[in-house]
Amino acid sequence: MTRLLAIADTHGYLAAARIAIRERGPWDHIIHLGDSVMDAVDLAAELNVDVAAVFGNNEYSPDPGHRDALVFNAGGVTFYATHGHELDLNPWGHGLDQKLAELARRAAAAHAAAALFAHTHVPLITTVNGILLINPGAMSAGDQKKTYAAITVEAGRIDATIEEFLA
């Protein structure tokens, strides 16, 4: 069994992420889905763990090769990861179903079974066009409920749950 931790939208507030990593692990893979990549760097250095990350809408990189999306393998399953701002994924916006379908299309084009995304600060686990979509929610100081996604992969099967911390 492979365990994956997905976190996002920490915005400089790392207390909940530290707890998720230290006390809710161990994790085989950790991914930060943006806002902020520097938080991922800080967590990796502080806790001596590998943290993959993608850029969010509150970050800029002068490097034209910076990662708005990442495709990776965990437990024999391919995942597509993005922050989601480039698709304007907002729960209060118009056309959310079409935007989630586009996210699923991008994941399928990358031969991924699941897409991890963030940006909304609202946790979500749903399936669109056969692609499992997982949004871990957010862990920033301004979020009353700090959430992350705990994902397990076993024998090609993906199980995901949203775990919560109270502020």
Which among 71, 127, 86 has a CA at the least distance from the CA of 104? 127
Q: Determine the CATH number of domain 2-166.
A: 3.60.21.10
Going by C-alpha positions, the residue among 39, 21, 25, 33 that lies closest to residue 141 is 39
Residue 63: predicted pLDDT: 64
Query: Looking at residue 83, what is its pLDDT?
Result: 93
| Confidence (pLDDT) at 37 | 84
CA distances from 121 to 1, 49, 67, 138, 142 (A): 28, 24, 20, 5, 10
**Cα distances (Å, whole numbers) of residue 128 to 54, 97, 104:** 22, 9, 6
Could you give the CA distance from residue 59 to residue 37 in angstroms, rounded to a whole number?
A: 8
pLDDT tens, per residue, the chain with 167 residues: 999 999 999 999 999 999 999 999 999 999 999 998 889 999 999 888 889 999 887 776 656 556 689 999 999 999 999 999 888 887 777 888 999 999 999 999 999 999 999 999 999 999 999 999 999 999 998 888 899 999 999 999 999 999 997 65
Tell me, what amino acid is at 134? I
User: Where exactly are the structural domains of the chain?
Assistant: 2-166
Q: Is the pTM of this model over 0.85?
A: yes
